[in-house]
Chain A
Amino acid sequence: MGRIERHFQDIGYLDTLAGQDTAVHRLDPRAKLVTTLAFIATVVSFGKYEISSLIPFLFYPLYLLAAGNLPAGYVFRKVLLVSPFAVLVGIFNPLLDQEIHIRIGALALSGGWVSFVSILMRFTLTVGAAMTFVAVTGFNTVCMALERLGAPRFFAIQLLFLYRYLFVLVEEATAMVRARSLRVFNGRGMGLPAYGSLMGHLLLRTLDRAQRIHSAMWCRGFDGSVRVMRPLSFGRREFAFVLGWVAFFAVMRFFNLPSYLGSTLSEFMR
């Protein structure tokens, strides 16, 4: 229960962050969405033992973080907090793949460790990018972008409604759980029968609410399609943003910058 509540507070906070007004915030959401998807696709397309060539990709989330004036510590903590599945599955790699992959002096690293680190890198990059993307865009605007990019309108509207009523329903559920916990003694009352009727009540109330919302919509001329006035404009700045970043991803995909820097440096030292 704590987890969901924390998530819920996070949503509110992300919304606040998305309400800022910086150059990246002002960009058309489609540009940011497309770029972020390109970013994630590029990152996951690397081989599983890749570490060093993934590093330059940090530029993108860091750019969003800095240009969007987001709190780095918060984003970093959130990325750490949500990694269980990736870590859980990835942690088997060092056990299962013990062949030596690279040696640095006396230190030998098995392929498993390398690929595990690679998984963690991917995780940080993809989650970090997605989070910073939402934080500089805002959920509602993401929905508009989805719709403009061809997602069914029905689906986009449905997302908007879900998001809107998340806040109301989570509050209702919290109140009900609290009311139950005040009347539970020695764990009695926490069982399935009470649960069934508690959730059942919440469900019925939810259905009634849906009915009332529909009547409120109907009263204001709702005829089956939801209209939103939100001019989006894909201008030169957006083109520059998308092209610039995609070109960067493409170059970094095929050219290992860290490796190049490292060898140049060692050559120079010599």
Chain B
Amino acid sequence: MHMADALISPVVGAAAWAATAGAVGHSSRKLREELDGHRIPLMGVLGAFIFAAQMVNFTIPATGSSGHLGGGLILAALLGPQAAFLTLASVLTVQALFFADGGLLALGCNILNLGFFPCFVAYPFIYRKIAGGHMKRWRITTGALAGAVAGLQLGALGVVLETWLSGISELPLRTFLFLMQPIHLAIGLVEGLATAAVVLFVVKARPEILRETEPATGPALSPRALAAVFLGAAIVLGGGVSYFASVRPDGLEWALSRISGPGAPGSTAGEVHDIAGDLQDRTAVLPDYGFREGGRREPAAATDGTPDGSATGAGKAVSGLVGGLLTLLIAGAAGFFLKRRHNAAARGGPAGS
């Protein structure tokens, strides 16, 4: 499932972008070192294959529903983790740009969730441990099932955590987890089956293809490097969160209040939360739907939910509404005139200009 820009806060988005950029850079460098030219078209064409693969379904016995190949694991098995990661990153970029699946800011999150976990965790630590270098049917099937399930569980966890940390959605962590993880268990099983079916076909028809990539990959990302990446992401995220909270209390304040929750009173996060709340009282960036006489901003109902139901409150709300409509009108009119002018120019102007 793709994260969307609308559900994400800038800090989470930026942290994920940073982590992703690091992983993309690392993979590109790694691949450039061992560059053999045929990788470039191979990766591109396999990326296109992943798209095409989503058009081909199979029916799942006894359920009446259908499934298809997800991509991460089979790419890793064919290309090795780094190249597979880059390929998936490209696939997700195309989806973000053209299908509006996700979005530009959420792209980092999506690459982490759907690319990083299957390629750098599920493939090297699960699939390859079970099925690597083997041509046995049960090993490949088990490896593909376990790998796909693990990759998707991690990915779903990523979605939940990123959404929760962003604090735009109201879904409580636990509910969201209970929604996402079981769904992705099912999706993972289906994807595992599909992956196994295709790998088994290739093993039978052209075993050299898989044998070729297996030894060349080497250790994908050592456990230490993996830990470093996670730590890095955590630091960026943590640092970003507290920095951001200190300057822009916004939606994060809500998330922070949960992090610091009842279990950890007086923790640093709690202090940050206090400071944030304090700052917010003073600057009041949160909803201000109105102005008092003289145009001074007035702190309105904030996250504590105190309703501002007084007459002035209603006045503010109304003025906000009217102003909104007005702005909309202006924007629409401006667009209309621009377009008219453009069309007129296209019609009246000399051909060539």
Q: Quick check: B7 and A40 within 8 Å, CB to CB?
A: no
Please tell me if A19 contacts chain B, counting CB pairs below 8 Å.
no
Stretch at the interface among B34-42, B120-128, B220-228: B34-42
Of A41, A163, A195, A201, chain B has the most CB atoms within 10 Å of the CB of A195
Number of interface residues of B (CB under 8 A): 121
* A-B residue pair count with CB separations less than 8 angstroms: 403
Of B45, B55, B78, chain A has the most CB atoms within 10 Å of the CB of B45
A111 CB to closest chain B CB (Å) equals 6
Residue of A nearest to B253 (CB): A47
Question: For the complex, would chain B's binding face be called helix, strand, loop or mixed by DSSP majority?
Answer: helix
In the complex, chain B residues whose CB is within 8 Å of the CB of A115: 168, 170
Q: Quick check: B103 and A170 within 8 Å, CB to CB?
A: no
Residues of A within 8 A of B (CB): 1, 4-5, 7, 10-11, 14, 22, 36-37, 40-41, 43-52, 55-56, 58-59, 62-63, 65-67, 69, 72, 78-79, 82, 85-86, 89-90, 92-93, 95-97, 99-105, 108, 111-112, 114-115, 118-120, 122-123, 126-127, 130-131, 134, 139, 142, 151-155, 157-166, 168-170, 172-174, 176-177, 187, 190-204, 206-207, 209-211, 213-214, 217-218, 222-224, 226, 254, 256-263, 265-266
Residue of A nearest to B101 (CB): A82
In the complex, chain A residues whose CB is within 8 Å of the CB of B331: 55-56, 58-59, 62
Which residue of A172, A192, A256 contacts B194 across the interface (Cβ within 8 Å)? A192
Please tell me if B2 contacts chain A, counting CB pairs below 8 Å.
yes
Q: Which of B154-180 contact A (CB under 8 A)?
A: 163, 167-172, 175
Please tell me if B53 contacts chain A, counting CB pairs below 8 Å.
yes
In the complex, chain A residues whose CB is within 8 Å of the CB of B248: 45
Known: A44-B8, A259-B320. 5 other contacts (CB 8 A): A66-B334, A72-B335, A103-B313, A126-B105, A130-B96
Q: Quick check: A48 and B168 within 8 Å, CB to CB?
A: yes
Of A44, A86, A130, chain B has the most CB atoms within 10 Å of the CB of A44
A262 with B251, Cβ < 8 A, contacts A11-B98, A65-B335, A122-B5 known? no
A120 CB to closest chain B CB (Å) equals 7
Please tell me if B73 contacts chain A, counting CB pairs below 8 Å.
no
B140 CB to closest chain A CB (Å) equals 11
Q: Quick check: A158 and B323 within 8 Å, CB to CB?
A: no
A94 CB to closest chain B CB (Å) equals 8
A79 with B318, Cβ < 8 A, contacts A65-B335, A259-B288 known? no
In the complex, chain B residues whose CB is within 8 Å of the CB of A197: 201
A202 with B49, Cβ < 8 A, contacts A162-B94, A207-B209 known? yes
Q: With the chains together, A24 CA to B10 CA distance in Å?
A: 27
Which residue of B44, B54, B59, B61 contacts A161 across the interface (Cβ within 8 Å)? B44
In the complex, chain B residues whose CB is within 8 Å of the CB of A111: 305
Q: Quick check: A158 and B44 within 8 Å, CB to CB?
A: yes
A96 with B172, Cβ < 8 A, contacts A1-B57, A44-B8, A162-B91 known? yes
A231 CB to closest chain B CB (Å) equals 21
Q: Quick check: B103 and A40 within 8 Å, CB to CB?
A: yes
Q: Which of B313-329 contact A (CB under 8 A)?
A: 313-324, 326-328
Please tell me if B266 contacts chain A, counting CB pairs below 8 Å.
no
Residue of B nearest to A43 (CB): B5
Q: With the chains together, A176 CA to B226 CA distance in Å?
A: 40
Q: With the chains together, A142 CA to B171 CA distance in Å?
A: 35
In the complex, chain A residues whose CB is within 8 Å of the CB of B286: 47, 49-50
Q: With the chains together, A11 CA to B94 CA distance in Å?
A: 10
Q: Quick check: A56 and B202 within 8 Å, CB to CB?
A: no
Q: Quick check: A199 and B42 within 8 Å, CB to CB?
A: no
In the complex, chain A residues whose CB is within 8 Å of the CB of B169: 89-90, 92-93, 119
Which residue of A102, A159, A174 contacts B289 across the interface (Cβ within 8 Å)? A102
In the complex, chain B residues whose CB is within 8 Å of the CB of A105: 314
Q: Quick check: A7 and B98 within 8 Å, CB to CB?
A: yes
Q: Quick check: A130 and B47 within 8 Å, CB to CB?
A: no
A203 with B51, Cβ < 8 A, contacts A44-B9, A130-B100 known? no
In the complex, chain A residues whose CB is within 8 Å of the CB of B69: 199
A200 with B205, Cβ < 8 A, contacts A46-B250, A256-B288 known? yes
